[in-house]
Amino acid sequence: MTPQLLRLAAYGVCCDGDRILLARCVSPDPALRHWTLPGGKVEHAEDPYDAVVREVAEETGYTVEVENLLGVDSESWHVDWAGPAGGELHRVGIFYSVAIRGGELRHEIGGSTDLAAWIPVSDVAQLERTVTIDVALNLYGTKPANGHVAPVPVGGLLRY
């Protein structure tokens, strides 16, 4: 039987004018490094609201305040690392709009990311990135009342 895995994650969407705050995922293979939103796994018994504040601080150095809930996204895909035949990972992402209240931009050391940066939104389409960035920009730009946007297809520079 193929293992079925669930990952609950909270992401901070922090925009400043025409820029968005992003973090680069660590990989031993430089070709596999890619950009994502600051955020990540909600720990056992942790409130996603608290998780996004913690994750943004860990990955960027900024203290943030949650402004509002933008929405929820759900994606599933096959992963090779979950047993001999791999497994099916289901990621549920909770997206919050956040505002900086303190701290200074810095890079995470020894964590899941190695670089934090303000990226012009107009440059995002040229980046190797996770679909979470595109979902976040859709949620941030449209602010749908139901908190849901259409799935973003994976391919080219976009990955899970």
pLDDT by residue (tens digit) across 82-97?
778 888 889 999 999 9
Q: Tell me how crowded residue 118 is: count the other CB atoms within 10 A of its CB.
A: 15
- Name the DSSP class of 155: B
pLDDT of 15 > 90? The answer is yes
- Domain 4-159, architecture per CATH: Alpha-Beta Complex (3.90)
The answer to whether residue 127 scores a pLDDT higher than 90 is yes
Say yes or no to pLDDT of 106 above 90. Answer: yes
For the cut 90, the answer to whether the pLDDT of residue 14 exceeds it is: yes
The residue extents of the domains of the chain are 4-159
Spatial contact of 136 and 70, defined as CB atoms under 8 Å apart: yes
Q: How far is CA 14 from CA 3, 45, 64, 109, 156, in A?
A: 34, 25, 9, 21, 25
Structure tokens given for 82 = 């979950």
Q: pTM surpassing 0.75?
A: yes
For residue 70, the Cα-to-chain-centroid distance in whole angstroms is 13
CA distance linking residue 121 with residue 133, whole number of Å = 10
Which of 93, 60, 83, 72 minimizes the C-alpha distance to 160?
93
